[in-house]
Amino acid sequence: GVTSVLLNKTFNNDHVVNIYFPCDSNMLLAVAEKCYKSTNQINAIIAGKQPAATWMTLDEARAELEKGAAEWKWASTAASNDEAQIVLACAGDVPTQEIMAAADKLNEMGIKFKVVNVVDLIKLQSAKENDEALTDEEFAEIFTADKPVLFAYHSYAHDVRGLIFDRPNHDNFNVHGYKEQGSTTTPFDMVRVNDIDRYELVAEALRMIDAEKYAEKIDELEAFRTEAFKFAVDNGYDHPDYTDWVYSDVKTDVQGAVTATAATAGDNE
Protein backbone atom coordinates (compact mmCIF):
# COMPACT_ATOMS: atom_id res chain seq x y z
CA GLY A 1 0.00 0.00 0.00
CA VAL A 2 0.92 3.68 -0.20
CA THR A 3 1.70 3.92 3.50
CA SER A 4 3.97 0.87 3.30
CA VAL A 5 5.96 2.47 0.48
CA LEU A 6 6.24 5.79 2.30
CA LEU A 7 7.44 4.07 5.47
CA ASN A 8 10.52 2.93 3.57
CA LYS A 9 11.60 6.59 3.54
CA THR A 10 11.32 7.18 7.28
CA PHE A 11 14.62 5.87 8.64
CA ASN A 12 17.91 7.46 9.69
CA ASN A 13 16.28 10.66 10.96
CA ASP A 14 15.64 11.89 7.42
CA HIS A 15 12.28 13.49 8.36
CA VAL A 16 11.22 13.57 4.73
CA VAL A 17 7.87 11.78 5.06
CA ASN A 18 4.91 12.27 7.39
CA ILE A 19 1.85 9.99 7.48
CA TYR A 20 -1.27 11.25 9.22
CA PHE A 21 -4.51 9.48 10.09
CA PRO A 22 -6.93 12.16 11.36
CA CYS A 23 -9.82 10.73 13.36
CA ASP A 24 -12.30 13.53 12.65
CA SER A 25 -12.81 16.92 11.01
CA ASN A 26 -11.04 18.92 13.71
CA MET A 27 -8.01 16.67 13.58
CA LEU A 28 -8.04 16.97 9.80
CA LEU A 29 -7.95 20.76 10.17
CA ALA A 30 -5.05 20.53 12.63
CA VAL A 31 -3.14 18.17 10.33
CA ALA A 32 -3.75 20.35 7.27
CA GLU A 33 -2.58 23.41 9.21
CA LYS A 34 0.67 21.65 10.10
CA CYS A 35 1.23 20.32 6.58
CA TYR A 36 0.69 23.70 4.93
CA LYS A 37 3.41 25.14 7.16
CA SER A 38 5.92 22.38 6.40
CA THR A 39 8.60 22.57 3.71
CA ASN A 40 10.66 19.97 1.84
CA GLN A 41 8.50 17.11 3.12
CA ILE A 42 6.01 14.60 1.74
CA ASN A 43 2.82 14.74 3.81
CA ALA A 44 0.33 11.90 3.38
CA ILE A 45 -3.10 12.52 4.89
CA ILE A 46 -5.46 9.54 4.96
CA ALA A 47 -9.06 10.64 5.55
CA GLY A 48 -12.54 9.69 4.36
CA LYS A 49 -15.03 11.85 2.52
CA GLN A 50 -18.22 10.77 4.30
CA PRO A 51 -19.95 12.59 7.19
CA ALA A 52 -18.57 11.29 10.48
CA ALA A 53 -18.52 11.91 14.21
CA THR A 54 -16.44 14.71 15.72
CA TRP A 55 -14.53 13.36 18.70
CA MET A 56 -12.42 16.32 19.80
CA THR A 57 -12.13 20.09 19.74
CA LEU A 58 -9.60 21.83 17.52
CA ASP A 59 -7.42 22.66 20.53
CA GLU A 60 -7.50 19.03 21.67
CA ALA A 61 -6.62 17.93 18.15
CA ARG A 62 -3.63 20.25 17.99
CA ALA A 63 -2.38 19.00 21.37
CA GLU A 64 -2.62 15.35 20.31
CA LEU A 65 -1.00 16.09 16.95
CA GLU A 66 1.96 17.66 18.74
CA LYS A 67 2.66 14.34 20.49
CA GLY A 68 1.46 12.09 17.66
CA ALA A 69 -0.70 9.91 19.90
CA ALA A 70 -2.71 10.35 23.07
CA GLU A 71 -5.01 8.60 25.50
CA TRP A 72 -8.61 9.76 25.30
CA LYS A 73 -9.18 9.89 29.04
CA TRP A 74 -12.83 10.87 28.62
CA ALA A 75 -13.42 7.61 26.73
CA SER A 76 -11.27 5.39 28.97
CA THR A 77 -12.72 3.46 31.90
CA ALA A 78 -9.40 2.62 33.57
CA ALA A 79 -8.14 5.26 35.98
CA SER A 80 -4.52 4.11 35.59
CA ASN A 81 -2.31 1.78 33.58
CA ASP A 82 -2.33 -0.67 36.47
CA GLU A 83 -6.13 -0.81 36.46
CA ALA A 84 -6.44 -1.30 32.69
CA GLN A 85 -7.30 -4.77 31.45
CA ILE A 86 -6.64 -3.81 27.84
CA VAL A 87 -5.69 -0.85 25.64
CA LEU A 88 -7.97 -0.06 22.70
CA ALA A 89 -5.89 1.81 20.12
CA CYS A 90 -6.84 3.19 16.72
CA ALA A 91 -5.47 5.11 13.75
CA GLY A 92 -7.83 6.40 11.07
CA ASP A 93 -11.39 7.68 10.97
CA VAL A 94 -13.21 4.37 10.41
CA PRO A 95 -11.01 2.38 12.83
CA THR A 96 -11.62 5.10 15.43
CA GLN A 97 -15.37 4.81 14.94
CA GLU A 98 -15.23 1.03 15.33
CA ILE A 99 -12.95 1.16 18.38
CA MET A 100 -15.27 3.68 20.03
CA ALA A 101 -18.29 1.49 19.34
CA ALA A 102 -16.36 -1.49 20.72
CA ALA A 103 -15.40 0.56 23.79
CA ASP A 104 -19.07 1.38 24.32
CA LYS A 105 -19.96 -2.30 24.39
CA LEU A 106 -17.01 -3.24 26.61
CA ASN A 107 -17.96 -0.48 29.03
CA GLU A 108 -21.41 -2.05 29.36
CA MET A 109 -19.65 -5.25 30.44
CA GLY A 110 -17.59 -3.47 33.08
CA ILE A 111 -14.25 -3.91 31.31
CA LYS A 112 -11.50 -1.50 32.36
CA PHE A 113 -9.68 -0.13 29.32
CA LYS A 114 -7.68 2.76 27.92
CA VAL A 115 -8.60 4.32 24.59
CA VAL A 116 -5.60 5.58 22.61
CA ASN A 117 -5.74 7.45 19.32
CA VAL A 118 -2.77 7.70 16.95
CA VAL A 119 -2.68 10.48 14.37
CA ASP A 120 1.01 10.66 13.42
CA LEU A 121 1.95 7.11 12.48
CA ILE A 122 5.69 7.66 12.35
CA LYS A 123 5.76 8.76 16.00
CA LEU A 124 5.38 5.04 16.79
CA GLN A 125 8.72 4.32 15.16
CA SER A 126 11.69 3.44 17.34
CA ALA A 127 13.33 6.52 18.81
CA LYS A 128 16.63 4.92 17.76
CA GLU A 129 15.65 5.49 14.13
CA ASN A 130 13.62 8.67 14.52
CA ASP A 131 14.59 11.33 17.03
CA GLU A 132 11.15 12.94 16.68
CA ALA A 133 9.31 9.76 17.69
CA LEU A 134 7.86 9.00 21.10
CA THR A 135 10.48 8.01 23.63
CA ASP A 136 10.20 4.49 25.02
CA GLU A 137 9.02 6.01 28.29
CA GLU A 138 6.27 7.99 26.54
CA PHE A 139 5.31 4.93 24.50
CA ALA A 140 5.00 2.77 27.62
CA GLU A 141 2.99 5.44 29.41
CA ILE A 142 0.50 5.68 26.55
CA PHE A 143 0.24 1.97 25.66
CA THR A 144 1.27 0.54 29.07
CA ALA A 145 4.32 -1.58 29.76
CA ASP A 146 2.60 -4.95 30.05
CA LYS A 147 -1.11 -4.88 29.14
CA PRO A 148 -2.64 -6.31 25.93
CA VAL A 149 -3.13 -3.76 23.16
CA LEU A 150 -5.80 -4.17 20.49
CA PHE A 151 -4.96 -1.82 17.62
CA ALA A 152 -7.44 -1.06 14.81
CA TYR A 153 -5.53 0.41 11.90
CA HIS A 154 -6.68 1.91 8.60
CA SER A 155 -4.05 0.27 6.39
CA TYR A 156 -2.01 -2.95 6.43
CA ALA A 157 -1.31 -4.32 9.90
CA HIS A 158 2.34 -4.99 9.10
CA ASP A 159 2.91 -1.21 8.94
CA VAL A 160 2.35 -0.93 12.69
CA ARG A 161 4.10 -4.19 13.51
CA GLY A 162 7.20 -3.04 11.65
CA LEU A 163 7.29 0.30 13.43
CA ILE A 164 6.96 -1.08 16.98
CA PHE A 165 9.17 -4.17 16.68
CA ASP A 166 11.57 -3.03 19.42
CA ARG A 167 9.18 -0.93 21.48
CA PRO A 168 8.21 -1.79 25.08
CA ASN A 169 5.32 -4.27 25.22
CA HIS A 170 5.37 -4.84 21.45
CA ASP A 171 4.70 -8.57 21.92
CA ASN A 172 1.31 -7.74 23.43
CA PHE A 173 0.09 -5.78 20.38
CA ASN A 174 -2.67 -7.35 18.30
CA VAL A 175 -3.08 -5.25 15.15
CA HIS A 176 -6.19 -5.48 12.96
CA GLY A 177 -5.90 -3.75 9.61
CA TYR A 178 -6.78 -3.88 5.95
CA LYS A 179 -6.55 -7.36 4.42
CA GLU A 180 -7.19 -6.55 0.76
CA GLN A 181 -10.77 -7.76 1.20
CA GLY A 182 -14.04 -6.19 0.10
CA SER A 183 -15.64 -4.79 -3.01
CA THR A 184 -18.96 -3.09 -3.74
CA THR A 185 -20.71 -3.73 -0.46
CA THR A 186 -22.15 -2.06 2.65
CA PRO A 187 -20.09 -0.12 5.22
CA PHE A 188 -20.48 -2.87 7.84
CA ASP A 189 -19.52 -5.63 5.45
CA MET A 190 -16.43 -3.72 4.36
CA VAL A 191 -15.11 -3.58 7.92
CA ARG A 192 -16.36 -7.11 8.63
CA VAL A 193 -14.36 -8.76 5.85
CA ASN A 194 -11.25 -7.00 7.15
CA ASP A 195 -11.98 -7.95 10.79
CA ILE A 196 -12.05 -4.40 12.11
CA ASP A 197 -15.78 -4.20 12.81
CA ARG A 198 -16.88 -3.38 16.36
CA TYR A 199 -18.26 -6.86 17.04
CA GLU A 200 -15.01 -8.59 16.07
CA LEU A 201 -13.02 -6.01 18.05
CA VAL A 202 -15.11 -6.66 21.17
CA ALA A 203 -14.74 -10.41 20.70
CA GLU A 204 -10.99 -10.08 20.18
CA ALA A 205 -10.63 -7.86 23.24
CA LEU A 206 -12.44 -10.45 25.35
CA ARG A 207 -10.21 -13.21 23.96
CA MET A 208 -7.15 -11.18 24.92
CA ILE A 209 -8.47 -10.52 28.43
CA ASP A 210 -9.85 -13.98 29.29
CA ALA A 211 -11.09 -16.16 26.43
CA GLU A 212 -12.43 -18.88 28.71
CA LYS A 213 -14.37 -16.54 30.97
CA TYR A 214 -16.02 -14.71 28.09
CA ALA A 215 -16.45 -17.69 25.74
CA GLU A 216 -20.24 -17.43 25.66
CA LYS A 217 -20.20 -13.70 24.89
CA ILE A 218 -17.59 -14.21 22.18
CA ASP A 219 -19.79 -16.85 20.53
CA GLU A 220 -22.75 -14.44 20.67
CA LEU A 221 -20.75 -11.71 18.97
CA GLU A 222 -19.51 -14.00 16.22
CA ALA A 223 -23.05 -15.26 15.63
CA PHE A 224 -24.33 -11.70 15.36
CA ARG A 225 -21.63 -10.83 12.82
CA THR A 226 -23.00 -13.61 10.63
CA GLU A 227 -26.57 -12.43 11.23
CA ALA A 228 -25.68 -8.83 10.37
CA PHE A 229 -23.92 -9.94 7.19
CA LYS A 230 -26.96 -11.97 6.11
CA PHE A 231 -29.18 -8.96 6.87
CA ALA A 232 -27.05 -6.78 4.59
CA VAL A 233 -27.13 -9.35 1.79
CA ASP A 234 -30.90 -9.80 2.05
CA ASN A 235 -31.78 -6.11 2.37
CA GLY A 236 -29.00 -4.19 0.63
CA TYR A 237 -28.32 -2.06 3.71
CA ASP A 238 -26.83 -2.65 7.15
CA HIS A 239 -28.41 -3.95 10.34
CA PRO A 240 -29.95 -1.24 12.58
CA ASP A 241 -27.73 -2.33 15.47
CA TYR A 242 -24.83 -1.09 13.37
CA THR A 243 -26.32 1.93 11.65
CA ASP A 244 -28.26 3.35 14.61
CA TRP A 245 -25.44 3.23 17.14
CA VAL A 246 -24.59 6.50 18.84
CA TYR A 247 -21.82 6.83 21.42
CA SER A 248 -23.12 6.86 25.01
CA ASP A 249 -24.15 10.24 26.45
CA VAL A 250 -24.17 11.90 23.02
CA LYS A 251 -27.23 14.08 22.48
CA THR A 252 -28.97 13.28 19.21
CA ASP A 253 -32.01 15.48 19.67
CA VAL A 254 -30.17 18.71 18.89
CA GLN A 255 -29.76 20.46 15.59
CA GLY A 256 -26.99 18.96 13.49
CA ALA A 257 -26.81 15.68 15.41
CA VAL A 258 -26.69 12.54 13.30
CA THR A 259 -26.92 8.81 13.88
CA ALA A 260 -24.29 6.39 12.70
CA THR A 261 -26.41 5.79 9.60
CA ALA A 262 -25.35 9.18 8.32
CA ALA A 263 -21.90 8.98 9.86
CA THR A 264 -21.00 5.70 8.17
CA ALA A 265 -22.67 6.06 4.79
CA GLY A 266 -20.55 4.30 2.19
CA ASP A 267 -19.90 5.08 -1.45
CA ASN A 268 -22.46 2.47 -2.42
CA GLU A 269 -25.42 3.79 -0.41
Mean pLDDT of 126-138: 94
Mean pLDDT of 49-72: 95
Mean pLDDT of 59-86: 98
Contacts 24+ apart (CB under 8 A), 101-104: 101/198, 101/245, 101/247, 101/260, 102/198, 102/201, 102/202, 102/205, 103/75, 103/77, 104/245, 104/247, 104/248
* pLDDT computed for residue 250 by the predictor: 64
Report the distance separating Cα 64 and Cα 97, nearest Å.
Answer: 17
For residue 50, name the pLDDT band (cuts at 50, 70, 90).
confident
Residue 12 clears pLDDT 80, i.e. is over it? no
Mean pLDDT of 182-197: 91
Output the CA angle 47-154-125, nearest 5 degrees: 105
For residue 251, name the pLDDT band (cuts at 50, 70, 90).
low
The pTM assigned to this predicted structure is 0.91
Residue 200 clears pLDDT 50, i.e. is over it? yes
Higher pLDDT, 8 or 76: 76
Mean pLDDT of 44-73: 95
Question: DSSP character for 171?
Answer: G
Say which CATH topology domain 68-247 has: Rossmann fold (3.40.50)
Map residue 92 onto helix, strand or coil: coil
Which helix or strand (DSSP H or E) is residue 95 part of? Answer: helix 93-108
Domain boundaries, the chain: 68-247
**145-183 residue pLDDT tens:** 999 999 999 999 999 999 999 999 999 999 999 988 777
